[in-house]
């Protein structure tokens, strides 16, 4: 798995641990009555029965998450596309963001960045995560200078895991751009402010995400 996908999989965990909010009674009943490992078929049938609209979009969004967890990135991307088409503007960015995550897993980083760029432009709740996704995809594509421009939007904040991941990626990008002073500052801040973060566990002595103690 790409270092960037390790990060974005970590960003999926809060969704997995939280109960769905604001879903239709029928969908809530389906979730309550169906074991998690048997949800794919029932969710797809529920979506097809509703055809269009918010209820179908919610089912498609959940299907996308399930496919994403299973590593079925193309199926996830298709489900998130259907969800985005059915949601009102206020919910559309959620589906677009996760669609970007799915395309990163393919990997089709150009397509992923197109979706994540839209989320950043809309300035919604997923803006920081989308910015991180863009930066990581640029780093995976060996464009560290461009990645640093996006990471700079995040390292000035204190938003927990997202900022921690941005600091780890900044250290990696700075090493590649031959800026050891920036890499050192990022690693030191990561160790000082986010010592228990996933990023701090992954970042090794050279600041490369995915190559530290907990890396692949």
Domain boundaries, the chain: 21-126
Predicted TM-score (pTM) of the model is 0.77
Please list the alpha-helical segments (H only) found in the chain. 3-17, 25-33, 40-50, 54-69, 73-86, 89-105, 109-122, 127-140, 144-155, 161-176, 180-193, 198-202
- State the pLDDT at residue 209: 44
- State the pLDDT at residue 186: 94
pLDDT in tens, 150-178: 999 999 888 778 899 999 999 999 999 99
pLDDT in tens, 49-95: 777 778 888 888 888 888 888 889 999 999 999 889 888 887 888 89
Please tell me the class of the 21-126 domain: mainly alpha
């Amino acid at each position: 798995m790409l270092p960037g996908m390790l990060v974005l999989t970590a960003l999926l965990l809060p969704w997995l641990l939280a109960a769905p909010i604001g879903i239709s009674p029928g969908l809530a009943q389906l979730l309550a009555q169906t074991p998690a490992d048997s949800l794919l078929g029932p969710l797809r049938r529920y979506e097809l029965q509703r055809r269009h609209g918010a209820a179908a979009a919610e089912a498609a969004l959940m299907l996308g998450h399930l496919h994403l967890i299973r590593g079925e990135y193309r199926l996830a991307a298709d489900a998130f596309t259907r969800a985005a088409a059915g949601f009102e503007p206020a919910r559309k960015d959620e589906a677009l963001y996760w669609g970007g995550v799915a395309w990163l897993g393919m990997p089709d980083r150009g397509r992923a960045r197109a979706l994540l760029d839209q989320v950043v432009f809309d300035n919604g709740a997923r803006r920081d995560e989308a910015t991180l996704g863009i930066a990581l995809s640029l780093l995976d594509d060996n464009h560290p200078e461009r990645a640093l421009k996006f990471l700079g939007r995040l390292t000035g904040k204190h938003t927990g895991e997202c900022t921690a991941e941005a600091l780890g990626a900044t250290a990696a990008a700075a090493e590649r751009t031959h800026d050891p002073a920036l890499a050192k500052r990022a690693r030191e801040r990561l160790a000082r402010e986010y010592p228990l973060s996933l990023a701090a566990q992954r970042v090794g002595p050279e600041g490369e995400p995915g190559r530290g103690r907990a890396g692949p």
